């Protein structure tokens, strides 16, 4: 992370799952700046990238046979299905795993 890049700093702090108010304090952002689209996007991006990293770990552990990780991964699949309405044609790996359960 480049120390002088405020967007990267916001993404990094957001990846640690701080609240918006905490990010604002840590990054010393004025109230009006918190409403700017690029700040909102940086916060979302940081949180989602951290979540993606955790999901990669869960997937890897599930593929290695961890029953708790398999359960958690299956729950992620079920949650996605509930949101988009079924397995995605572009996501055959998840569709195959869901069919196994």
CA distance 27 to 90: 38
Per-residue pLDDT at 66: 95
What kind and span of H or E run contains 28?
none
**Per-residue pLDDT tens listing for the chain (101 residues):** 455 799 999 999 999 999 999 999 999 999 999 999 999 999 999 999 999 999 999 999 999 999 999 999 999 988 888 877 655 555 666 566 556 65
Distance separating the N- and C-terminal Cα atoms of the chain: 40
Q: Does residue 51 contact residue 59 with C-beta atoms inside 8 Å?
A: no
Per-residue pLDDT at 59: 95
CA distance 20 to 23: 5
Residue closest to 40 by CA, chosen among 72, 9, 11: 11
């Amino acid at each position: 992370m480049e120390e002088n890049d405020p967007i990267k700093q916001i993404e990094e702090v957001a990846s640690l799952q701080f609240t918006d108010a905490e990010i604002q304090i840590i990054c010393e952002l004025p109230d009006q700046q918190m409403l700017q689209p690029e700040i909102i996007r940086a916060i979302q991006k940081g949180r989602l990238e951290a979540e993606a990293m955790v999901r990669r770990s869960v997937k890897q552990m599930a593929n290695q046979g961890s029953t708790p990780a398999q359960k958690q991964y299956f729950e992620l699949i079920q949650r996605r299905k509930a949101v988009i309405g079924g397995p995605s044609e572009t996501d055959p790996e998840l569709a195959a795993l869901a069919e196994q359960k």
